[in-house]
Chains A and B, each alone.
Chain A
Amino acid sequence: MKPNAVIVGIGASEFGRSLPQSQLALGATALKHALADAGLEREDVDGLSLHLGWPLGSDYDRYAEAYGLDIRYVNQTWLHGRFTGQSLQSAAFAVSAGLADVVACITAVSFTRERGFLGGPGDVEGNREEGGSHGEAPPYGLTAPAGGAALGMQRYMHLYGATPEKLAAVPMSMRAHALRNERAIMRKPMTLDDYMTSRMVVDPLRLFDCSLINDGAVVALVTTEERARDLRQKPVRIAGMQGIRAGREEFIFAPRGMGINQQSGRQGPARAVDLEIYRMAGLERSDMAAFYTYDAFSPLVLFALERFGFCGPGEAADFVQGGRIGPGGELPVNTSGGLLSEAHVAGWNSIAEMVRQLRGTAGASQIPDARALQWGTCWGDGVILTS
Chain B
Amino acid sequence: MQIDYGKPLPRISPDNAPFWEGCREGRLMLPTCEDCDAPHLPPGPVCPHCFSDRLVWREASGRGTISTFVVVHKAWFPAFAADLPYNVAQIELSEGPRLTATILDAERSDLFIGRPVTVVFLARDGIVLPYFRPATAD
Interface residues of A (CB under 8 A from B): 118-123, 127-131, 135, 137-144, 146-147, 150-152, 154-155, 158, 199-204, 248, 259-262, 265
Q: Are the CB atoms of B69 and A147 closer together than 8 Å?
A: no
Interface residues of B (CB under 8 A from A): 3-5, 7-11, 13, 40-42, 48, 67-74, 76-80, 83, 85-86, 88, 90, 92, 97-98, 100-102, 108, 112-113, 124, 129
Task: Pick the contact of B73: A123, A158, A200 (CB < 8 A).
Answer: A200
Q: Are the CB atoms of B80 and A141 closer together than 8 Å?
A: yes
- Min distance, Cβ B85 to any Cβ of chain A, angstroms: 7
Given known A-B contacts A151-B70, A155-B113, A262-B41, A127 and B8 have beta carbons under 8 A apart:
yes
Q: Are the CB atoms of B40 and A139 closer together than 8 Å?
A: no
CB-defined A-B contacts under 8 Å, sample of 30? A118-B76, A121-B79, A123-B76, A127-B8, A129-B11, A130-B13, A131-B42, A138-B8, A139-B7, A139-B124, A140-B101, A141-B7, A143-B8, A144-B76, A151-B69, A154-B68, A154-B70, A155-B67, A155-B68, A199-B73, A200-B73, A201-B74, A202-B71, A202-B72, A203-B70, A203-B73, A203-B85, A259-B92, A261-B98, A262-B41
- Min distance, Cβ A44 to any Cβ of chain B, angstroms: 39
Q: Are the CB atoms of B83 and A121 closer together than 8 Å?
A: no
Task: Pick the contact of A139: B10, B71, B74 (CB < 8 A).
Answer: B10
Cα separation A121 to B6 with both chains bound (whole Å): 9
B80 cross-chain contacts in A, Cβ below 8 A: 141, 143
A144 cross-chain contacts in B, Cβ below 8 A: 74, 76
In addition to A127-B8, A141-B72, A201-B73, 13 A-B residue pairs with Cβ atoms within 8 Å of each other are A129-B11, A130-B42, A137-B88, A137-B101, A139-B9, A142-B72, A143-B77, A150-B70, A155-B67, A155-B113, A202-B73, A202-B74, A204-B70
* A to B contact number (C-beta, < 8 Å): 113
B70 cross-chain contacts in A, Cβ below 8 A: 142, 147, 150-151, 154, 202-204
B67 cross-chain contacts in A, Cβ below 8 A: 155, 259-260, 265
Cα separation A155 to B98 with both chains bound (whole Å): 14
Given known A-B contacts A140-B101, A142-B88, A261-B90, A120 and B78 have beta carbons under 8 A apart:
yes
Interface of A is mostly: loop
Q: Are the CB atoms of A260 and B90 closer together than 8 Å?
A: yes
- Min distance, Cβ B60 to any Cβ of chain A, angstroms: 15
User: A199's closest neighbor in chain B, by CB?
Assistant: B73
- Min distance, Cβ A348 to any Cβ of chain B, angstroms: 25
- Min distance, Cβ A166 to any Cβ of chain B, angstroms: 18
- Min distance, Cβ B15 to any Cβ of chain A, angstroms: 9
User: A135's closest neighbor in chain B, by CB?
Assistant: B100
User: B112's closest neighbor in chain A, by CB?
Assistant: A158
| Residue among B41, B68, B71, B78 with most chain A CB within 10 A | B68
User: B75's closest neighbor in chain A, by CB?
Assistant: A120
Cα separation A139 to B100 with both chains bound (whole Å): 10
- Min distance, Cβ A110 to any Cβ of chain B, angstroms: 19
Given known A-B contacts A121-B77, A141-B86, A203-B85, A262 and B11 have beta carbons under 8 A apart:
no
Q: Are the CB atoms of A147 and B40 closer together than 8 Å?
A: no
Cα separation A259 to B65 with both chains bound (whole Å): 12
- Min distance, Cβ A130 to any Cβ of chain B, angstroms: 8
